[in-house]
Amino acid sequence: MTDTTVHPEHTGHPEHTDPAVQATAAASGAAATDRFRTKRPAGTAADTRRVDTLATEVISAVHEVIRRHKVTYAEYDALKAWMIQVGLDGEWPLFLDVWIENVVEEVNSEDRQGSKGTIEGPYYVPDAPSFPAEATLPMREDEGGTPLLFQGRVTSVDGTPLAGAKIEMWHADADGFYSQYAPGLPEWNLRGTVVADEQGGFRIHTVEPAPYQIPTDGSCGRLISAAGWHAWRPAHLHLKVSAPGHQLITTQLYFRGGSHVQDDIASAVKPELILAPSPASSGDGNGNEVTYDFVLDRA
Ligand code: MBD
Ligand code: FE
């Protein structure tokens, strides 16, 4: 889908009249769908027996819910209409990453010894500009938000420093918007790949992101309001950390005491992932700083 124009007749939310808000919600779903369709496939696809097992059990699980709650034809038609609309809105990546990915991540990281990971979410973009170990993420001259120095070291599980480890970082701005998924932001705003020094060290200067609200004018927003849920993720930094001979880790870091750290709609917070920054001591003394080390499992 390349059509990123707003279709108010699809949203059913006439109360949203701010064009900037409408454009953001409609464009972000389509952009996430487009991005996913160009993604390199991860690993091998399932074989026939595996597809049979998984598809049969998913369908049976749905049947069970229908029987238990005696689902009506009106409800069945509402589900059908909603699923069609999720696709038209381009919101399947958003839906799946918010309500399903956390369990996929859980079952695929059970054996990990090193740092905890969590879900990737819909807004990763590969091949962000590369920077040396001490760097400032690309940002606008007047970028809002509290300055944040995020520093640490990447080591292997046995403590060996991983020189040249790659720290890919991406996050929302102080208004909760991601570059390439919201209009009006520079292409690589708050996205970068930092290469660790000889000791595996890195010092990344950025700004603290705002909490993220699931777009309210798309299909995911309609589900959220129809069910009486809230639409928020806590403020978070996204990271992918990798080094030769080691397992890549995809993670997110949160801020202690921030809103929705305890009730993330995407269920992606783990206690090990909550940062507690302190007022910056170095540099010009502006903003906050925090140290966080990454430990990578061997491949
Ligand atoms: C996000 O920013 C995000 O990280 C996830 C998982 C889902 C929606 C928006
Ligand atoms: Fe995110």
**pLDDT digits 0-9 by tens, 123-158:** 999 999 999 999 999 999 999 999 999 999 999 999
What pLDDT is attached to residue 16? Answer: 36
Which residue from 35, 95, 97 has its CB within 8 A of the most atoms of ligand 1, so it is best to mutate? 97
Spatial separation of the C-alpha atoms in residues 289 and 211, rounded to whole Å: 19
For all residues of the chain together, what is the average pLDDT?
91
Give distance in angstroms: CA of 233 to centre of ligand 2: 8
Give distance in angstroms: CA of 121 to centre of ligand 1: 5
pLDDT digits (tens, 9 = 90+) for 51-71: 999 999 999 999 999 999 999
Which pTM does this prediction carry?
A: 0.90
What pLDDT is attached to residue 25? Answer: 61
Spatial separation of the C-alpha atoms in residues 178 and 78, rounded to whole Å: 31
Dig out the tokens for 160 from the structure: 């060996």
What pLDDT is attached to residue 29? Answer: 85
Measured from CB, residues less than 6 Å from any atom of ligand 1 are: 94, 97-98, 119, 121-123, 212, 233, 266, 268
What pLDDT is attached to residue 18? Answer: 45
- Percent of the chain exceeding pLDDT 90 equals 83
Give distance in angstroms: CA of 17 to centre of ligand 2: 25
Q: Any alpha helices (H) in 89-215, and if so which ranges?
A: 92-99, 101-108
Count of structural domains, the chain: 1
Structural domain harbouring 259: 1-299
**What is the domain-level CATH number for residue 110?**
2.60.130.10
Mean pLDDT of 195-220: 96
Q: Which residue's CA is minimally distant from atom 3 of ligand 1?
A: 121
Torsion of CA 112, 113, 116, 122, to 10 degrees: -30
56 three-class SS: helix
What pLDDT is attached to residue 24? Answer: 57
Burial of 294 per CB tally in 10 Å (0-12, 13-18, 19+)? buried
Q: By the 8 A CB rule, do 118 and 181 touch? A: no
Element (H, E) at 204: strand 201-207
Q: Which residue's CA is minimally distant from atom 4 of ligand 1?
A: 121
For the CA atoms of the chain, what is the radius of gyration? 21
35: left (phi over 0), alpha (psi -120 to 50) or beta: alpha
Burial of 40 per CB tally in 10 Å (0-12, 13-18, 19+)? exposed
What pLDDT is attached to residue 42? Answer: 74
Give distance in angstroms: CA of 123 to centre of ligand 2: 6
**pLDDT grade for 23, boundaries at 50, 70 and 90:** very low
Q: Using alpha carbons, select from 210, 167, 207 the residue that is nearest to residue 190.
A: 207
Q: Rounded to the nearest 10 degrees, what angle do helices 101-108 and 92-99 cross at?
A: 50
Element (H, E) at 64: helix 48-69
Q: Which residue's CA is minimally distant from atom 5 of ligand 1?
A: 121
- Percent of the chain exceeding pLDDT 70 equals 90
pLDDT of 84 strictly over 60: yes
Query: Within 13 Å, how many C-alpha atoms sit on residue 108's CB side?
Result: 15
Ligand 1 atom closest to residue 101's alpha carbon, by position in its atom list: 6
